[in-house]
Structure 1
Amino acid sequence: MKGISIKDIAKQAGVSPTTVSFVLNGKAKEKRISEQVSKKIQKIAARLKYKPNQLARGLRTGKTKTIGLIVEDIANNFFASLAKVVEDEADKYGYKVLYGSTEDNTEKAKGLLEVLKYRQVDGYIITPTKNLDKEIELLQSASKPLVLMDRYFPHINSSYVVLNNYKGAYDATTHLIAQGYKKIAIVTIASEQTQMKDRLDGFVAALKEHKIPFNKSLVKRLAFDLDRESFNTEIKKFLTTVKDLDAVFFATNYLGIAGIESIRSLGWEIGKEIGLVGFDDHDLFRLHSPSITCVSQPIASIGKNIVEVLMNELNHPGSPSRQVVLAPELVVRASSSRT
């Protein structure tokens, strides 16, 4: 079925298509179009359920009122929740959000960027993959408004909104030490990206500061793209090879979920035989028995800041980049409490 066009509205209103275009683009006063004619056009457009072609509008105005959002995995609870906040916040400014997942795959990320360029989005919110720095620099050289989230490239001067991941991991590890745990391991992702590097650094720093012995055998790095069964197999193998292990810190929520499953399959009792802390809160952590201690990210604040920073770039081209680092919250629950 053919969509309603500006010409259809003009015909019914008895005016030119140009006049309709001015009214629908908010230029009625500027073009001295009477209020009576303006209201008539708007009423006909509403009755006909006219929807502007965003691509065509973009060609005319240079604005499509759309934002591209690229996340690591939209199925992940953290990114799904954050995407919803971004969508709601963007809507307050009249923007719609188009999004996709990279699965931490650079080629897939490049493909998503091409799609968003074709859709002529006004700005980009990007969770970058390891080797996406060149594409980020190309967007910057084209003066495209963009904000990195969750992680960033230290060698690129860009706007970003991230968590203080170092503090999150440091606080989680310090909490375990305060509860009397002596042999603490970490299960993390094999990545040198800033968020994972900072979490590992915070973990190690807390152990060293409290004079708890540390060696590399306490660190298990897993590939991001392992399936559920492989995660569980690798985690069980690791946990059973660390002698006298009494606590473990899982550096992401999906690792924490795999960790719970692995520990239960070993027949160990969480909170009694082994302490456990995860990163990123999850309904499962709250509802599990015992409930799971975790480092919680302020998702609402992250989303709000991301959109505010991007709107500043959209409305003030050439303004200095902004770096926002938000504080985590340690949510203490039964899985790590000995007192």
Structure 2
Amino acid sequence: MAAMTSDILLPTEIEHFIENLCPSTMEELGSKKFVSELWLEKHGRFQKLNQQAVLEANKMKDEFVKNTFILFEKIPVIIYEAICTMLWSKNVLPEILKIEPVPKNSFVACSILYHEATAVGLLEAILYHEESCEALGDSVIDLIDYCMNSVTYCISREKVMMDNPAGDIGKGEDYLIHEQNRLKFDNGIRSIVILRCLGEYLDSLPLSAASRIFETNDLPLVFVELVENPPWYAKDKDGNIRLYKVVNYLFGKLGIFMLQRYLHDELLDQLSPLVELQRWLSHLAVSQPPVISRPVILEVVPEREIVLFKYRIHLNAIDSMEPSGIDHRID
């Protein structure tokens, strides 16, 4: 039994779950029949895989979950699950709450929200290793965009927390929105870790990944903002929220130079790898920017845009739904 070995899943169960893992569809998330049966079973398997992956990483055991995802080339499916459920929570859930502000049963909606968090947690656990990042393939573009969206939410979270103060959650719509915002913040913090892993193994990723990170999303300046205004500060005992100044990015070198104030001697003694960063910043201050050549790169269309295009008619039709159709079907 798995319990006798302190594992959550047996190796045979892990192989079976991952080999038969298929991407969710909006039909599954929008159909009462699918959500209550097939999809909830998939969600349960997903949670067990995440728990097993975290257990293996914490105990420094052979990471069988990670290796099996690589073997069956299923890591892109995890990314798709995160994107699909994110789009549902962003585009479908608000319309459902307009139809029925106080749902009789919020279990299904919460399960879908937690499914996204489970997918992000699983990615955080298995992408710590270079071979996992290599197995991403073209799906790394979707992962970068997803993580950047989540990190941006964390940076601007003060408004969200002001709108949803603790102790005033309520029921129905208030509860679901509170859970959605809380999980989005957790996903954003985990996304920072994922982006760190992608940056470390950038040489092993497709060429389009570097373009997406530095040109499309300008990740270094986003990380500077995280250092300047860390979003993980908690509220004090009185419930007061620290408000950060809204400062526009200082694009280019000036933005990067904001890191220099943190590179003092005491920190450099404790974290010696930062010495290289300090030297690079000093070199950047006196050097001229090189002429950037634009190589011909076939850009990969993000999966998020494909899903939105596929279901654009269904999403627009939700506004006309009657409250009696709250089983949320997409025909």
Q: What is the TM-score when the length of structure 1 is the normalising length?
A: 0.23
| Structure number with higher relative contact order (C-alpha < 8 Å, ≥ 6 residues apart) | 2
In terms of fraction of residues, the more strand-rich structure is 1
Q: What is the TM-score when the length of structure 2 is the normalising length?
A: 0.24
Q: Which has the larger radius of gyration?
A: 1
